[in-house]
Amino acid sequence: MKDKFKEYASRMTAPREAILEFMSRSSTHLSAKEIYTSLHKKHPGIGMSTVYRTLDLLARMGLVTKLALGDGQNRYEFKAKDKSDHHHHLICTRCGTIINYSEFLEEELTLVRKTEKKLAKKYNFIIEDHNIEFLGICEKCKGSEKI
């Protein structure tokens, strides 16, 4: 891992190690502040700036995904190298709940690849990633509908 860091022109430091370790252990979609706060218990020294800078670095390294959901703060999620970790999102527009789903149909993956190829050619684009999200009302919010 130290090597991977160097590749991105960086020294391996304690804060970076702590943040990466923390991210790799959490499975949710966390805001920078949530990460900062959680980390603060064991690592009181780590500042907010470093959290942002490191998350940005990890995103560039491809170890973390940055999610923009339009609620005023970005969220970050660890991305295992393991392909089986790849997933898409189901987002509740009422309460913000995010569900990961990865029970893809084979068709789904095949089609994504086919579409990528088509778009890359037509628009002369290098396609590196994709986001697919379905928006709606979650189970809980459905329940507390009538007020």
Binding residues for its own copies, rule: CB under 8 A, are 66-70, 74, 90, 92-93, 99, 101, 103, 105, 107-108, 111, 114-116, 118-120, 122-139, 142
Q: Which residues inside 32-91 make contact with DNA, applying CB under 7 A?
A: 32-33, 45-50, 52-54, 56, 72-74
Alpha carbon separation from 12 to 1, 20, 58 (Å, rounded): 9, 11, 12
DSSP 83: G
CA distance 74 to 67: 6
**Could you tell which of Mn ion, DNA, its own copies, none binds residue 15, using a CB distance below 5 to 8 A set by kind?**
DNA
Q: How far is the CB of 132 from its own copies (least distance, A)?
A: 5
Pick from 9, 105, 126, 147 the residue near DNA by CB under 7 A. 9
Q: Other C-beta atoms within 10 Å of 119: how many?
A: 13
- Going by their DSSP bridges, the two strands 75-78 and 30-31 should be labelled as antiparallel
- Binding footprint of Zn ion on the chain (CB under 5 A): 92, 94-95, 97, 138, 141
